[in-house]
Amino acid sequence: MANILIVDDEVGIRELLSEILRDEGHDVVVAENAGAARAVRNAKRPELVLLDIWMPDTDGITLLKEWSANGQLTMPVIMMSGHGTIDTAVEATRIGAVDYLEKPIALQKLLTAVKRSLQRPSSGSQPAPLSLAAFPRSAPLRELRKRLQQIAEKTRVLALRVGNGSLAELAARSVKPNGAPWLDFSTVSQPIDINQLQNCNGGVMYIADVGRLNRTQQKNLAFALDRLDRFNLHVVAAAEVGGEVLLGDGWDEKLVQRLFEVSLVPPTIADIQDDVPELASQLLVHLIESGEVPRRVFSTAALNALRTQQWPGGFQELRAAVKSLALGTLDEEISLADVRRVLPAPADSVHSISFDQPLREAREAFERLYFEHYLRTEGNNMTRIAEKCGLERTHLYRKLKQLGLQTGRKGSEG
């Protein structure tokens, strides 16, 4: 018999479905909303989910998309709704639902759908690489995803102007839905041909660093750009330098113009520092689902420490850190001590302050390092920081705002 999760905001429906399925010998756990469903999914790893579409916090379609995006749609999901439409059913099926039941649900239809879903063979495939869709609770990343999709509707070539802390690959994987073909240009060292473009039909050709393309790869790019419409391809190129630098390096002028015709400056990890705990948590989930690390969870203190870290290597550096922490800890929970053991302390030494500046600017630089230190070590707890610094809370907030320092999420008051 199977372990089944029922997600519905109506207690009567949860109780009725639970009773029916338990009578059939199944183990049943229930969740009243999407937040509870996420927790149960992570802890219990159910073999089947019955998921209501209309819920007060997050609707079932959105939760289904989230599980699909972060690699957690490893179990069959049956959608349920009393107000469904054909379009809703089609969308749910496209995302990955295996069946759709209309309320009120007839007993025989329920049992047939459950039996059929549990008999489906497991795909056993690795979860798709992460895209921005895996981070629905980050407002800046939701906005970035919308911009990318809007741009992709009108042009097939996009230059991402990036620097340290780049989210370029994460952004590029969001131009097309998960499952679309993907070709990393850095892996193509020989002249490209029509067959390779055909194999990538409908997908994305990604350039991690335009400035590193050699002459052959530049010719490959020109060859591909002339055939994007034919093969329904998009090119997303991360560029740390501008077109003028490429022209100075001997690039073809028309190629540079085409490449930089439409550009976008995506946020860096430093720009979304408060969302680092969300990124790290979803990365950990994805690594667990792909079998790369054992089951682990982050402590709140560990997530706070990750948020105060600098990530000049961008998303890939953060992913590597999460993987190292998950593999290196001896406990199920990744602690603050684990983070301090694996990651270098952020540079906050007074020795990093230049003496070749006016006293006022040097004092401000020291104050910034001073308060960054306490924000990090006290996990943004304003009460403890005020006590450590000997400041009134109002004065502390004013000083942090003056220095341009983030005070953290709600609930950090102590």
Residue 193: pLDDT over 80? yes
- Residue 136 in 3-state DSSP? coil
For residue 104, whether the previous peptide bond is cis, meaning omega lies within 30 degrees of 0, is yes
Let me know whether 318 and 294 are in one domain: yes
Which residues have a Cβ under 8 Å from the Cβ of 120 and sit 6 or more positions away?
76, 98
32 within a domain of the structure (yes/no):
yes
Q: Residue 411: its pLDDT value, please?
A: 41
Whether 177 and 199 map to the same domain: the answer is yes
Nearby residues of 180 by Cβ (< 8 Å), 6 or more positions away: 202, 203, 204
- Is 211 inside a domain boundary? yes
Q: Say yes or no: 315 and 289 in one domain.
A: yes
CATH of the domain at 379: 1.10.10.60
In 273-350, the DSSP E strands lie at 297-298, 333-334
Q: Which residues pair with 205 in a beta bridge?
A: 183, 235
pLDDT tens readout for residues 36-76: 999 899 888 899 999 999 998 889 999 998 888 888 888 99
Question: 10 Å Cβ neighbour count for 83?
Answer: 9
Structure confidence by residue, pLDDT tens digits, 357-366 = 788 888 888 8
Residues 12 and 110 in one domain: yes
Q: How many domains does the chain have?
A: 4
Tokens representing residue 103 in the block: 């309320």
Non-local (6+) Cβ contacts of 276 within 8 A are 269, 303, 306, 307, 309, 311, 318
Do 310 and 395 belong to one domain? no
> What's the pLDDT score for residue 125?
59
pLDDT above 90 (res 3): yes
- Predicted confidence at residue 95, as pLDDT, reads 87
> What's the CATH number where 293 sits?
1.10.8.60
For residue range 95-126, list pLDDT tens digits in order.
889 999 999 999 999 999 999 999 987 655 56
Last residue of a domain, one of 245, 264, 283: 264
Are 185 and 78 in a shared domain?
no
Q: Which of 361, 391, 386 is nearest to 375 (CA)?
A: 386
Q: Calculate Rg over the CA atoms of the chain.
A: 25
The pLDDT-based confidence of 409 (bands split at 50, 70, 90) is very low
Same domain for 72 and 161, yes or no, is no
Owner of token pair 């927790």: 39
Instruction: Give residue 346's pLDDT band: very low, low, confident or very high (50, 70, 90).
Output: low
Q: What is the mean pLDDT of residues 232-261?
A: 95
Low-confidence winner among 83-92, 121-130, 320-329 (lowest mean pLDDT) = 121-130
Per-residue confidence (pLDDT) for residue 113, from 0 to 100: 95
What pTM did the predictor assign? 0.71
Residue 303 and residue 197 share a domain = no
Instruction: Please indicate, yes or no, whether residues 212 and 136 belong to a single structural domain of this protein.
Output: yes
Q: Is the dihedral of CA 390, 391, 393, 396 positive or negative?
A: negative
What's phi and psi for 336, nearest 5 deg? -60, -40
Cβ–Cβ under 8 Å, residues 148 and 224: no
Q: In which domain, by residue range, is 206 found?
A: 132-264
Locate 244 and state its tokens.
Answer: 């003028």
Least confident of 316-320, 372-376, 406-410: 406-410
One domain for residues 39 and 151: no
Same domain, 7 and 45: yes
Q: What's the mean per-residue pLDDT of the chain?
A: 89
- The CA distances from residue 183 to 197, 236, 263, in Å, are 9, 10, 20
Would you state the structure tokens that stand for residue 95, as one six-digit string? 């995302």
Contacts of 358 (CB under 8 A, 6+ apart): none
Residue 409 lies in a domain: no
Residue-wise pLDDT tens digits, 221-245: 999 999 999 999 999 999 998 999 9
**For strand 234-239 and strand 157-161, is the pairing parallel, antiparallel, or unpaired?**
parallel
